Amino acid sequence: MGCSYEYGNIADLSVSVTSFIREQSRESLQIIVISLKEEFYSRADALLGVYPEFNECMFSRMLTLDLSPYPLNEENGTEREKEM
């Protein structure tokens, strides 16, 4: 999706898009979303990061963060709470 949205609309759009993705991924759909918008990545199941590393030559490293131990707080959709 290569489009821009006004800031006020991004929250509504992200709820619609993330709800659609979550619903569809229960079956067999897998989607990679590239976004710097908190409204999108705060509702993710996992985060991936790529960063450069300089040695004799430059190459990329990748990190992953599994967010499944932190269930999404559906009340506001933007925060995760760890149950104790």
**Residue holding tokens 């149950």?**
83
In a domain, 78, yes or no: no
CB 72: neighbour CB atoms within 10 A? Answer: 19
Range of the domain at 12: 7-66
In a domain, 20, yes or no: yes
pLDDT at site 62: 94
Residue 58 lies in a domain: yes
Please indicate whether residue 12 or residue 64 has the higher confidence score (pLDDT). 64
Q: Which of 28, 69, 47, 22 is nearest to 14 (CA)?
A: 22
In this structure, what token pair is assigned to residue 70?
Answer: 């932190």
Report how far residue 13's alpha carbon sits from residue 64's, in angstroms, rounded to the nearest whole number.
Answer: 25
pLDDT at 84: 42
Q: Give me the number of domains the chain comprises.
A: 1
CB 81 within 8 A of CB 68: no
Report which residue type is found at 5.
Answer: Y
pTM for this predicted structure: 0.55
Residue 76 located in a structural domain: no
pLDDT at 61 over 90: yes
Q: What is the pLDDT of residue 66?
A: 93
The pLDDT tens digits for 27-59 are 777 777 788 878 778 888 889 999 999 888 889
